[in-house]
């Protein structure tokens, strides 16, 4: 069972010449595996913070003994390409560049191909690390084409499973770096994984039930085909965005270039508590919205639109959001959001009408 899983995951990552490792952990474990196998204590690395999860990755890098150059960005934006290029040009000692592809806390997607272009423009030979936990298998990701050396994802997002598995795509360059890296590691050691994975096994007891789930997930993705999966996520997200706009609300992402196709963080009106919207949605309408995290706690609620999802399910999320907002005291026009999304989905799925352009 294991060897076909590893081979098919390489297709998901679009990793032709490297490897993909499966760890029994959350995505955080694969973050640590990527760092500890390829870098050394004191290595200078370039990172950016613009949401809770990018912040946590910076915190991990510091605690593991890296010398972190951290670029703080307004929450609602993403990876700052110009700042990255300037920092890399100023400091050729930077050994690694980190980028969060999709910041789940704020509903922001970043241009990973643009990060590679910035690195190339600065003539940087650094390793490129990417957090793709809420992007890989949902929106286009091209590890080899974009020159990503270490790419992290987890089982609970685009792979449509419970949490518990992390996957780490590793380039040939990163595998080579692991041979001379001196940071201590044991559980996440690439060498142990390679020695056992080559025969279809693991260096410790694997969560076999999750591997069976992964097999089912990959079969569903390939049956639909990745291009259709990506198009479906774009369509679902656009319907939600139009519903939010029709309610007179704004996304936390500050401009369309940052809009995520896997999660929308929605600003609540002044005087409304986003946590209360989430509480009402869960307790009264049995709908679990994502709460605001850290800096955006109480300021947003989040609708996830990724994985095993269709248009009608997104409409139900919008309908519940409308009722929860109204019950929390927001002055909104009940039905306006769902109507706008319905109109978009009907036209987008019509065999005769061209799909409307994104807002």
pLDDT in tens, 142-153: 999 999 999 999
Share of the chain above pLDDT 70, in %: 98
What are the residues whose beta carbons fall under 8 Å from the beta carbon of 117, sequence distance 6 or more? Answer: 81
Mean pLDDT of 60-71: 98
Q: Please say if the pLDDT value at position 358 is more than 60.
A: no
Report residue 261 as tokens. 């196709």
| CATH topology for the 225-349 domain | 3.90.1150
The pLDDT of residue 7: 98
Whether residue 268 has pLDDT greater than 90: yes
Q: For residue range 161-183, list pLDDT tens digits in order.
A: 999 999 999 999 999 999 999 99
What number is the average pLDDT over the span 129-142? 98
Q: Give yes or no for a contact between 287 and 318, defined as CB atoms under 8 angstroms apart.
A: no
pLDDT tens digit sequence for 223-261: 999 999 999 999 999 999 999 999 999 999 999 999 999
Q: What architecture (CATH level 2) is domain 2-223?
A: 3-Layer(aba) Sandwich (3.40)
Among 214, 165, 159, 170, residue whose Cα is nearest residue 194: 170
Alpha-carbon Rg for the chain in angstroms? 21
- In the chain, where are the structural domains located? 2-223, 225-349
- Judged against a pLDDT cut of 60, whether residue 359 lies above it is answered with no
According to DSSP H, which parts of the chain are helical?
2-13, 27-38, 52-63, 81-90, 112-121, 172-178, 190-197, 208-224, 226-246, 274-285, 311-327, 336-349
> From the CB of residue 91, how many other CB atoms can be counted at a distance below 10 Å?
13
Work out the burial of residue 181: count CB atoms within 10 Å of its CB; fewer than 13 is exposed, 13-18 middle, 19 or more buried: middle
Check residues 105 and 358 and name the one with the higher pLDDT: 105
Percent of the chain surpassing pLDDT 90: 97
Instruction: Place 351 in a pLDDT band, splitting at 50, 70 and 90.
Output: confident
330-339: pLDDT as tens digits: 999 999 999 9
């Amino acid at each position: 069972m294991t060897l076909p899983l590893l081979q098919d995951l390489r297709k998901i990552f679009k990793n032709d010449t490297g490897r993909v490792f499966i760890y029994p952990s959350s995505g955080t474990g694969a973050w640590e595996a990527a760092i500890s196998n390829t870098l050394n204590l004191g290595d200078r690395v370039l990172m950016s913070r613009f949401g809770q999860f990018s912040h946590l990755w910076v915190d991990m890098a510091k605690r593991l003994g890296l010398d972190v150059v951290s670029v703080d960005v307004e929450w609602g934006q993403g990876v700052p390409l110009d700042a990255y290029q300037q920092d890399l040009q100023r400091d050729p000692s930077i050994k690694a560049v980190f980028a969060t592809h999709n910041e789940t806390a704020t509903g922001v997607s970043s241009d990973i191909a643009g990060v590679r272009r910035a690195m190339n423009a600065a003539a940087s030979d650094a390793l490129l690390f990417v957090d793709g936990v809420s992007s890989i298998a949902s929106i286009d990701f091209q590890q080899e084409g974009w020159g990503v050396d270490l790419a992290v994802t987890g089982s609970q997002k685009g792979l449509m499973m419970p949490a518990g598995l992390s996957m780490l795509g590793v380039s040939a360059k990163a595998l080579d770096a692991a041979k001379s890296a001196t940071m201590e590691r044991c559980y996440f050691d690439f060498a142990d994984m390679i020695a056992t994975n080559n025969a279809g096994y693991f260096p410790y007891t694997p969560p076999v039930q999750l591997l069976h789930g992964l097999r089912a997930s990959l079969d569903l993705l390939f049956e639909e085909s990745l291009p259709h999966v990506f198009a479906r996520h774009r369509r679902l997200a656009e319907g939600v965005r139009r519903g939010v706009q029709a309610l007179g609300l704004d996304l936390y992402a500050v401009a369309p270039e940052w809009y995520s196709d896997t999660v929308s963080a929605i600003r609540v009106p002044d005087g409304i508590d986003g946590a209360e919207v989430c509480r009402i949605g869960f307790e009264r309408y049995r709908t679990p919205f994502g709460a605001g995290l850290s800096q955006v706690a109480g300021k947003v609620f989040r609708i996830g639109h990724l994985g095993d999802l269709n248009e009608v399910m997104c409409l139900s999320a919008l309908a519940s959001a409308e009722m929860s907002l109204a019950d929390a005291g927001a002055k909104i026009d009940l039905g306006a959001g769902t109507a706008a999304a319905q109109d978009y989905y009907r036209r987008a799925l019509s065999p005769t009408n061209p799909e409307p352009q994104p807002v």
